[in-house]
Amino acid sequence: MLNEFSSIRLQGANFTAVTNLPVLDSSDGKYSKASLVYGRNGSGKSTIAKAFRKIKGEDIPTIITANTLNSTDHPITLSGAEQASIFVFDEDYVTANVRIEGSGLGSIVMLGEQADLTVQIEQAEKELEQAETLVKSTGDTLNEYQIDLSRRFDTIKR
């Protein structure tokens, strides 16, 4: 069925009315494998990306309707494997998978798993800092008890 996919029907967020968008034009009989969506800020690009995420099976509450259509605007149902073969490279994808360390020409760009590792390292550093604070606090409490015990022992000896 994915080879019949030509348009998307969506409603929600920027699209208050049900709208059909021809995202994979097959008017020449050849099917496209990719589509690039661009436009001004606030024109609905993120809404279209969310509609595709909903088609993939994600829970997107702001999207009321999201369906795939064939070239004659009839709904088509995609299998799980076909849904999994849809990739959306939007702001959410970049936020989750791309990290930029530094600035200017000295920047380092990390993608995918490397970006995930950076987030894990940052989390581990926060946990280490909390653990070090707890160790210091516990050490301070231990010192107070040792001083108190020493004073009591000295009092008993006298």
pLDDT in tens, 21-57: 888 766 666 666 677 888 898 888 888 889 989 989 8
Would the pLDDT of 104 be above 80?
Answer: no
Q: How confident is the model at residue 74, as a pLDDT?
A: 87
**Element of type H or E holding 141:** helix 113-157
Distance, CA of 128 to CA of 136 (rounded, Å): 12
Give residue 113's pLDDT band: very low, low, confident or very high (50, 70, 90). low
pLDDT higher at 112 or 59? 59
Spell 86-124 as b/e; 16+ CB within 10 A means b. Answer: eebeeeeeeeeeebeeeeeeeeeebeeeebeeeeeeeee
Residue of 5, 45, 43, 9 whose CA lies nearest to 25? 5
pTM of the model: 0.60
Distance in Å from the first CA to the final CA of the chain: 93
Give residue 126's pLDDT band: very low, low, confident or very high (50, 70, 90). very high
77: left (phi over 0), alpha (psi -120 to 50) or beta: beta
- Residue 87's Cβ-side half-sphere holds a number of Cα atoms within 13 Å equal to 6
Rg of the chain over all Cα atoms, to the nearest angstrom? 28
Per-residue pLDDT reduced to its tens digit, 132-144: 999 999 988 888 8
